[in-house]
Amino acid sequence: MKAYERLLKYVAVHTTSDEESTTVPTAAREFDLANLLVGELKAIGVADAAVDDMCYVYGTLPATPGYENATRLGFIAHLDTAPDFSGENVRPRIIENYDGKDVALGDSGRALTNAQFPHLAELKGRTLIVTDGTTLLGADDKAGVAEIVTMLDEIIRENIPHGRISVCFTPDEEVGSGADHFDVARFGADFGYTCDGGAEGELEYENFNAAGATFLIHGFNIHPGEAKNKMINALLVACEINGMLPKGQTPRDTEGYEGFWHLTDLSGTTEEAKLSYIIRDHNFESFSRRKEMLEKIAAVMNDTYGAGTVELSIRDQYRNMKEKIEPCMHLIENAKKAMEQAGVTPRVQPIRGGTDGARLSFMGLPCPNLGTGGYAFHGPYEHITVEGMDASVEVLKNLVALYRDF
């Protein structure tokens, strides 16, 4: 079975994680795919495949005799899809010999256009997989899952010699908790790769430092006719807070290594309001200054409207993995070699986001990120090519061969 065929099977399983949930996993439906994968892994020859009670799927392929001392390599992808857009009732469409032109997405009124996605012309002649415009596709990260399973299947069937290979499929990556209960000792690898990137050839070992911040604003509501010097409109205070942030430092205005504040939620009434932000920066000092600015804004608001008007909470989420990867840059050099051997041009770039690998690198498992062949994740414009997935599988197989003798 080819990787894209597995992807089509996996996207039919609803696994959207729930950012409001406090359970592990955040959505019980994630077990549906986890259990399916355990059965599939066992069927191809991964005898110890199992899912734990927190929905982490683990499996190992013991080293080929004679390669027991080879570097132990691991591969990781996540089960869940992003809560940003519906991941239920996914109906993919396969376009063979794609002509490189705009693509209408079902009857949704949405379309993949060259104006919005200039790379489409480069995909001409490939087999393109798109959505019907009403859901996301789920290639983030079911493509990574499919490619890892396909890699294992082909290594077993083709009797390719290898060192010990570990795999893990995690829940809840999309809500920031995919590594929370990852058992590094059980995984048993010296180094790992997350398969959770975009186009084939993407290679990432620098990511944002990340935090979430919430302003809770307590207003004072009184009849407007008697409000002079008394009313504190929580919604207006919220607007005032947002207005104090520097202009031009939102996701829309930034790229590359530039950080941002991103307002993700504004809700409330005159009586009480809430602002939620994510804070991102590759540079740790700049990241710290961004958090300090929010603290200063909260202090100014409380000086202006009275102590306790504004409560600010900041929660660190993950750090830039660069400092943990730099001491073992063979992970990057070998990934480049593996891509070149597969006919793929490596593109080393920073992640304007994060992966499980960012946190795993700080848990003792250095873990850069590899592309899976997909584009435009987290929404109805998500798409991927069969050829990109096939190339990504070859990259994984080449990495196994390189570390067999490393």
Which among 208, 204, 256 is positioned nearest to 370, based on CA atoms? 204
Active site residue 80: yes
Contact call for residues 331 and 368 (beta carbons, < 8 A): yes
Q: Which of 18, 40, 80, 204 is catalytic?
A: 80
338-345, long-range: CB within 8 Å, 24+ apart, which pairs?
A: 338/395, 338/396, 338/398, 338/399, 338/402, 339/200, 339/201, 339/203, 339/395, 339/398, 341/394, 341/398, 342/391, 342/394, 342/395, 342/398, 343/391, 343/394, 344/200, 344/201, 344/391, 344/394, 344/395, 345/201
What is the chain's Cα-based Rg?
Answer: 23
Please count the residues of the chain: 406
Cα 232 to the chain's mean position, in Å?
Answer: 40
The span from the CA of 230 to the CA of 268, in Å, is 19
Catalytic residue among 132, 147, 173, 174: 173
| Letter string b/e over residues 359-392, b meaning 16 or more CB atoms within 10 A of that residue's CB | bbbbeebbbbbbbbbbbbbbbbbbbbbbbbbbbb
Residue tagged 């009732």 (tokens): 89
140 is catalytic: no
Which has the closest alpha carbon to 92: 213, 197, 10? 10
Residues noted as catalytic: 80, 173
